[in-house]
Amino acid sequence: MANGSPHEHFVQKESNRPILDAPLAKIPVIDISYAESNDLGQRELEDIKLRSALSSEGLFHVLGHGIQPSLMEEVRNVIRLFFKQPFKEKQSCTTSDTQIPDFKAGYGDDVVISDEQTTYDWNEKLLLNVYPKETRDMDVWPQKPESFRETIYEFNEKMVIIADVILKALARTLGLDEFYFIKNGTKGRMVWRFNYYPSCSTPDLVLGMRAHSDGSSFTILLQDNQVPGFQVFNNEFGWLNVPTLPNSLLVVLGDEIEIMSNGRYKSIVHKIVTNSEKERISLAMFVLSELENELGPINELIEEGKPSSYKKIKVKDYGDAFFLKFAQGKRAIDLMRI
């Protein structure tokens, strides 16, 4: 994909076109350094803030994660270096597995997996299975830049710990045993999507990524610290720009948690807008349940007089439905509601 003027296939229908000057969203900030603290009072206060954030916003900034800013910047740096390489070098990080085109590991850009897909997203991506270790297909892991693998290994060690901290906090806010999600395989997989959004001469006509919610339990985002572009949909105010917060991670709630919480928490609809002058990068780390798990409301969260609001489905089958509906510009979770 070249920087500059888009082909007509990238031009959005008028009803889908981005609002570049959308208002700024007010995103809650959670300090997870208290999550493992012996200061139970402070931990409870952060849990209350988290419960409020998830009930109303569906996303939050994370501070107190213990990751050095230098490591976060090095991750951004290797992402930029990878996507700056010649196409042939990037193309070497591909696979012939086409069972689920948009979710195959390796390098690519937007692909057509549905006859109903009429417009493309303005991005390039590198998708890697990172956790657990045995799921990694090292044939599609970049060998250049040379620091890529070592940097990602180091960052992954931090992300696995942070994912557990968030899962325990999520369980507490729902009144469950704090190890509930960890024991039931909610962190069965972690798939990382490295995103590159070239500058675009017509950002008012093109989307870096179409509106969607994530099929994950939640997604941890390392955003570009210089170029904004992440927007969320608010039922009251419409589309809002998400500000960047120095040295923070952004956690976005996904469909799995909405279904498991029986609708107490909602996955957040979001999209990416482009920039006429600057390219943008990001890293989305999807925390996903084990493929053979059954996805449905947790029994303890089905209240008397309020039955289950969602059907049950195998996680693997939900993933298949998710990518088909994503290509169509629709949400798979809408099929799950009773």
Domains of the chain, earliest start first: 8-335 (2.60.120.330)
Decide if 218 contacts 62 (C-beta within 8 A).
no
Transcribe 231-277 into DSSP letters: EEEETTTEEEEPPP-TT-EEEEE-HHHHHHTTTSS-PPPEEEE--SS
Q: According to the model, what pLDDT value does residue 114 have? A: 53
Transcribe 13-38 into DSSP letters: PGGG---TTPPBP---EEEGGGTT-S
Q: According to the model, what pLDDT value does residue 123 have? A: 94
Q: Is 211 helix (H, G, I), strand (E, B) or coil?
A: strand
Q: Is 222 helix (H, G, I), strand (E, B) or coil?
A: strand
Strand partners, 189: 288
Q: According to the model, what pLDDT value does residue 324 have? A: 87
Q: According to the model, what pLDDT value does residue 118 have? A: 61
Q: According to the model, what pLDDT value does residue 96 have? A: 59
Q: According to the model, what pLDDT value does residue 101 have? A: 43
Contacts of residue 160, Cβ cutoff 8 Å, sequence gap at least 6: 131, 187, 190
Decide if 95 contacts 137 (C-beta within 8 A).
yes
Q: According to the model, what pLDDT value does residue 97 have? A: 55
Cα-to-chain-centroid distance, residue 50:
18
Chunked into runs of 10 residues, the chain (338 residues) has average pLDDT values of 67 88 94 85 90 93 96 98 95 69 72 61 94 93 96 97 96 95 95 96 93 97 95 94 95 97 96 95 97 95 83 95 88 93
Decide if 310 contacts 297 (C-beta within 8 A).
yes
Instruction: Name the phi and psi angles at 324, rounded to 5.
Output: -65, -45
Q: Is 9 helix (H, G, I), strand (E, B) or coil?
A: helix
Cβ of 238: how many Cβ atoms within 10 Å? 11
Amino acid residing at 127: L
